[in-house]
Every structure is written in C-alpha cells, then in structure tokens.
A and B are shown apart, each in its own frame.
Chain A
Amino acid sequence: MSVDAPSKKPIAEAVEVPTFQITLRIERYNPEFDTESHYEDYEVTVHGTDRVLDALHTIKWDMDGSLSFRRSCAHGVCGSDAMRINGKNRLACKTLVKDVNPDKPITIEPIKGLPVEKDLIVDMEPFFDSYREIMPFLVTTGHEPTHERIQSQADKDRFDDTTKCILCAACTSSCPVFWNDGQYFGPAAIVNAHRFIFDSRDEAGDQRLQILNDKEGVWRCRTVFNCTEACPRGIEVTKAIAEVKRAIITRRV
C-alpha cells in the first residue's frame, strides 16, 4: 500500500516538542537476589511532554525489563503508581519530567512505610487494612425509600472533597507519624472516614468517630501537612483530619 493512499490518515501527534536526556536514579530491590536495595542510574531520552511514567516505561520496555512498578490508567485516576520522585510522593503518570528539574538525576524510590516487595512495588495490604477498619461504606437504618434518598447539593458538597480519594497511599506514606508507627490509621483512612461521617445520609458517624478517637486514631496526627501536599487529587487532607478531630470533640464530649 502506497504511503499517499487516500485511506492514510494522520495519527494525532503532540505539538513539536523538544527532546532531552535525563538520568533516572532508581532504587532497586529484588528479594530473590538482593539482600538490600541499591540505586541504579539509567540515561533516557524523553520528550518535553513526557511523564515520569513514560521514562520508566522506556527503561522497562527498551533497556531493563526487570524493572518493576505498578501502573494502569496512566492519567492519575487509578492510583497504582504512587512513588517517591526526588523525595516527594507523586503519581508517576501525573508528574511531567520537565517539572522535576531534569538537569539533575531524578531519584525514584518506593513510597515509605510499607514493606517493599520488589523495586517500586510495596505491600499495599496494611494500607487497605486501615481503610477497611474505618467502616468505609454507607450505613443506614430503617425502611429503604422507594426512590433515591433526598440530599441537598449543599449537603453533598460537605463531603465532596474527600470522595475524590483514589487510595493511592501517597498521603499515608508521606506521613512521618505513619513511618514511625505502622499502627496509625494514616491520612487516607481518615479521609475515607470523613467522606462518610459528613454524609447526611449516613448513620454510623459516631461509631467511626469512636474508632478514630483510639490512641492510634486522629490524635496521632501532628498537622505536618505532608499529606495535603502529596495528594495527587488535590484533597485538603489535613483540613479533613482537623474536621474529624473537631467532630470528635464537639459531638462526643
């Protein structure tokens, strides 16, 4: 088939963008072979619009297939690829290479506070365990209405921010309290408790507040704000935690 056949259609391409060389310094660890982790440097050519995830794919697909990391949607909604990029928790698919000072080596490490399984992959089970403990589901009693429950837009807006959570663990694994105390629920679990405590339809707010009033609950929060800075969804995590703290004091005392 000739190149100028009428069926040839243009494949959408981004605007001409500069390409440049970067170095990724990645923390590697495979317990099948390694006793401890080490750093490896990779030189990668990237485009101006590339995400850190694209650079990681270039390494995995064309240089070193053993590099392991989770990813799925690649545009910041599935929460698979939280990692430490130059020391800050970010989603690799939502971080453009050009925005992380590509002149110096870019350090990529697994998120902290959860056991490393291999390279950038951590054990997410402790994280989800905390989430499941705060009763992350709507609890209602009495007769179910035939139609939908009535809720004003204002009442819905009350907890709108915390419904955006994608459970990526960027907040929880940025929290110094969580690093030092694996028992602490962590910001993500509190955010998801907030989502139900402030939902006008829910009737288990008191139970959740009681759970979070525990010694490993909200009172461990030292208001460091790392979580708010780390959240790729722009959730005001520290504010949500403060609202839960206030609710514990005003409702139960």
Chain B
Amino acid sequence: MQTHQYDVVIVGAGGAGMRAALESSGRARTAVLTKLYPTRSHTGAAQGGMCAALSNVEEDNWEWHTFDTVKGGDYIVDQDAAEIMCREAIKAVIDLEKMGLPFNRTPEGRIDQRRFGGHTRNHGEAAVRRSCYAADRTGHMILQTLYQNCVKQGVEFYNEFYVLDLVLAESEAHGGEPAVAGVIAYELATGEIHSFRAKAVVLATGGAGKVFKTTSNAHTLTGDGMGIAFRRGLPLEDLEFFQFHPTGLAGLGILLSEAARGEGGILRNSEGERFMERYAPTIKDLAPRDIVARSMANEVREGRGCGPNRDYVLLDLTHLEPAHIDAKLPDITEFARTYLGVEPYTEPIPVYPTAHYAMGGVPTNTDAEVLRNNTETVPGLYAAGEVACVSVHGANRLGTNSLLDINVFGRRAGIAAAKFAQDAPWVEMPGSPEQHTLNLLEDIRGRAQGERVADLRRTLQETMDRDVQVFRTEESMTEALEVVQQLKERYQHVVVQDKGKRYNLDLLEAVELGFLIELAEVVVLGALARKESRGGHFREDFTKRDDENFMVHTMAYRTPLGANEQRGVSIFTDKVRLDYKPVNVTRYQPMERKY
C-alpha cells in the first residue's frame, strides 16, 4: 500500500470537483482523485445552459430565479440555499467567462440567454430568457474550461483512482466526534491500494443514474460517493426524489436538451396534438421536467403514444429553420441522426422520459459541510454537486440549475475545505484503514464461482424502471423492494472472471453494483414512506402533495460498517432507518403549483 498526505483531497473531477479544486489548490495542498480522466466526467454531457439573472436580453432578477427554483422543487427546497445559489449565479457565470468559456453572444457581444423550463418572469408570468449557453454543449464547455484552468493552476490529479472508502476517526480535537482522517483509493492501472491522509475531503462524485435502465447517465454514474458515506453511517437525504428528463431518445435514454423546447420545439402525441397545452396552459412545453415527463407518460398510457408500440411521443423541431437548429442545437440533432436515423429538419424525434438526476444525496449545509444528523456536521467533510443535497433542487430540479449548483457549491466547498485545512489539526488514521477495502475487493476477486454482475444489474435496473419510475404505487414499490432485498443477498455471491490486477474493470463493475443496490433500496424505502406526490415523486395512490405530513426532508441511515470488518461479512445491513429533517422556509410559503 502506498500512502499520501494532502491538506485537501477532492474525490471526483467533474464540474463540482474541479471548481472546488480551483479554489482549494491555491490555498492548501490539494489532490483530486477521479476514477476517470477529468475530461470524461458527465458534466460534459450537460447541454442547455446555466441560468443566472444577468438581464442581458430582458429584465430579470435573482429573486425571481429563487422563487422559480423553490416552486420548481415543489416547495421542499431549502430556501436559504436556493437564495445563495441564485444570488451567486451571476458571479458564477461571469467567473466562467473570465476563465475563457466561449458563451454564445448577443448582438452587443454580451453573454446570450435563452428560455428554459420553469424559469419565469415575475413569479410565473411568462417564460424568461435566463439560461447562459454555449450552443447545446454548455456542460462540455464548462468541463473543458475548468480543466483548462486546473492545468493553468497546476492542480494535482490522480487519474483512474477509484475511492472506495472514507476514513473517519473519533478525534479529541473535535470533541470526540467522528472527523475526517482520509480516504482509501484503488488504482485501476495497477490494482494497488492507496491511502490518502487528509484534513479535509470533498465528495464530488456525481449521481447514481445507473440505478435505472433507461437513463441519460454515463455507465460510470454509480453513486460511489453517496455509497461510501452511507456505509460509514452518514445519512442520505431525499433520495426518493429522482428526476426523469422528459426528452430522452426513445429506447436509448440519451439526453436531448430542454433547450430544444427553449428554442421553440414542441411535444406532440400520436394525434399531432400539442398536448402540453392541456397540462400547463401558461408555459406549455416549458413547464418543469416532472410535469412534462408525467404528461408524456400519461399520453402514452392513455393510448396516444407514437410508433409501432405506441410507447413514445414526438419532439417536433420541423417548423424551425435548419440554420437556427444548426446554430443552437447541433449536437442533439446529430444524436437523433446517429442513433435513430431521424432527420430533425424534416421529421419529429421519438422521445420518452429518461432517468436523469438525483435531487437527493449526502446532506450538506450551505458551506458544503456534510451533516451527520439534522444539525451536526462531520469536521473536515464536504460535498458538492449531484452527490450532495444542500437542498436547492427539492423534489424537482429546474433545468440548468445543476450546472449552476456545481459552480456555486463547488466553489464554496473548495474555499471552506481549504480554510478548514489551514486551521485544523491532523486526525490520526486508525490502524489498517485499508482493511475494509481489501476485504471488499478480495472477497469478490477470490470467489471461484457465483452469479454474474451483469445479471444482477439488469434485474435491478429493469425493476427500477418498471416499478419506481414516473408513476409509483405502494404495490409497485413493495415489489421493487422485495427484488432489491433479494439482490442484496445474491450480491454476496457475485463473481468476476478477471482475476488480475491491471485495469480490472470487471472488479470495478462488481463494486459499483454494490453501491447501486444499496442506493436503490434507499430510493424505494424513502418513496414508500412518502405517502404523497411531490415533484419527481408521483404516487398514484396518493396523488396530492401533503404539506401537513411530508413537508420534510427524508434522512436515511444505516448501521455503520464495523471498525474491523471480518471477511465474508455482508457489506449491507438490514436496518435502514428513516428520519426526517425540517425544510428551511424563508420567504415563500407553499402554494399550489400551477404553470
């Protein structure tokens, strides 16, 4: 085992991780660990834009943006966090421009802005142009720009280092409470274990979309950061709120940006009807994603779907000028051509909702400090981006607010972690901190026979798509829970064929599957207990929002892994305990959510 020591270790090199690194590396000795290469991170797949009330093309202000964010999240957003995000959005966009991001420009040469779902003028009057963008590859440009600036600043990366454990230790300097001591990582190229001692750790590992089968998420989005925190006894917040993006390429789940509708695209059913006029009369196709996704699924369910199986609807861009499409939506129209053989100039594109974004995650406060219960933080531990739940997205994230989240809270996490590391004492690593990780890997690698990882993963993903997607019921989720719990048992017998050390991605996928199964259970348990419909969580047996009983954040806990995990002991636990945390309401009382 190799050992390293840094003031700050950042886990993950997407938008949040690299934005944190740009702050932290100038202030404290910082390492960034990623299981990929930084430029492979899924921030690069984001398309439509990043909202900020710049007022470059029409009147706007950050208070309207805050209101839209709170209402979009179906009022379970922590309003202090939303206010910070929307206020700091303006600086966040300008910062990126100064770093070199090539935004599209207005005729005056300023950053151009366009419409996006749920973003409105004056508390819902009409759609507003708020999204700053670079064609339909805004996320790509953010990822590249942040990486470029990391190169400029000499940020130290450990590429293809997969962090598998978070080391917490009770610390006298922190009142005997658990504090960060470091992380344990597995080097993919060599199979070697590395121990990184750190005063502060920032989790920035992204989402867990691979819990589902139909998803816009990368293969590598397996909830690792959420998983390692959860296994160490830290809570996960609001994991039942998962966003299904309305316009995934039918059957494939590949994302087609909401910008397509922001630029004038229209959703149509088999009768050619612009059905969103019925569901959201004011802003129609630009309603928030939960509403549009549910409306689409409803059209299909009521028999107005298209295609031979009547199982998708159509995204119609044919009334837009080809030159306009080429200038504003070049990538997504190419996806339609490449993967479905559809020419968007002349043919509508088959689309259906696709699992897209985890609103929930590792709970943090607005300084990105991770909470270990409703009020107390873990000294030295920070989280930002999709892995975290601050909570600015509540029950349904507005489009563009994820790119904003990673920039605003990535920056805050980097500053806070570096500042903490400058003042805090080192926490002793416990003896053999790598033992749990070694056991985990060797148990799987050493198994001679058993079940294939892919078989379990398929069962998990198909079950989640069928039972815990846009529409949920007690019955469907009880069934899903049963399957997931069987999978926990079956996981004890998974086998890998690759027994080697070098680039053993077979083993990597087996470990990832463990996180997916564990997180799926938390999603289902939270969703079963939430007997109401709110944002992305829609229960057919409880179709109304219930503020009296459920205007609270879910906090899920498990029994922490023991200090000395023995070989062969299950990494899972039977006991997931649900608790609840109040929502921070500042200026907006819950109202009926209409668009």
Contact = CB atoms under 8 A, between A and B. Distances in A.
Given A16-B308, A31-B502, A137-B100, A6 B540 contact: yes
Given A65-B496, A152-B105, A144 B98 contact: yes
B107 interface: yes
Interface residues of B, number: 94
Contacts of A132: 151
Contacts of B300: 9-10
B474 to A, nearest CB: 9
Contact of A78 (B45, B97, B105, B462): B45
B44 A14 contact: no
Contacts of A61: 452-454
Interface in B85-115: 93-94, 97-100, 102-112
Contact of A9 (B98, B350, B471, B502): B471
B425 interface: no
B19 to A, nearest CB: 15
B365 interface: no
B307 A150 contact: no
A10 B311 contact: yes
Interface string B121-162: 000000000000011010011001000110110000000000
Contact of A117 (B98, B251, B478, B503): B503
A172 to B, nearest CB: 14
A75 to B, nearest CB: 5
A61 B219 CA distance: 13
Contact of A49 (B39, B301, B334, B340): B340
Which of B36, B97, B255 has its CB near the most chain A CB atoms (within 10 A)? B97
A253 interface: no
Given A14-B340, A138-B148, 20 more contacts: A5-B473, A5-B475, A9-B466, A10-B300, A10-B305, A13-B251, A14-B250, A32-B501, A65-B496, A75-B45, A75-B335, A75-B339, A94-B338, A117-B503, A136-B151, A138-B99, A153-B109, A156-B105, A164-B140, A202-B100
Interface of B: 36-37, 39-42, 44-45, 93-94, 97-100, 102-112, 134-135, 137, 140-141, 144, 148-149, 151-152, 189, 213-214, 218-220, 248, 250-255, 297, 300-301, 305, 307-309, 311-312, 331, 334-335, 338-340, 350, 352-354, 452-454, 462, 465-467, 469-473, 475-476, 478-479, 496-498, 500-506, 540
23 contacts: A6-B473, A7-B473, A9-B466, A10-B305, A11-B311, A13-B250, A14-B340, A15-B309, A32-B502, A49-B339, A61-B454, A65-B453, A65-B497, A68-B506, A72-B40, A78-B39, A79-B39, A121-B503, A124-B37, A150-B110, A160-B102, A164-B137, A166-B140
